[in-house]
Chains A and B, each alone.
Chain A
Amino acid sequence: MSLILFCLKKLFTILKNEAFVLPSRVIVVFFFLFLLLLPLFTKDPYLLRIFTLTSIFAILAASWDLLSGFTGQMNFGHALFFGVGAYGAALLNRHASIPPWGTIPLSALGAVLAGLIIGIPCLRLRGTYLALTTLAFPIILMGLVFAFPDFTGGELGISGIARLARSRVADYYIAVVLMLGLCTIMWKITDSHTGIIFHAIREDELAVRAAGINTTRYKLLAFCLSGFFAGISGGLYAHFMRIAGPSTLEVSMSFQVVIWAIFGGIVTIYGPVGAVFVLFPLLEFLRFWQDYRTLMFACIVLFILLYMPDGLFRWMRDKIEKECPRCKIRNVAMRHTCRVCTAPLD
Chain B
Amino acid sequence: MAGLGEALEMQVTEWAGRFSSASDADPVIAASGQGFSCSYLLDMGSSRALIKMVEGRVHRITPDPGPMDGYDFALRACAATWREMARPAPEPGCQGLFAASATRDMRIEGDIAVLMRNLGCVTRQVELLRQVGVPQ
Does A associate with B in a complex?
Answer: no
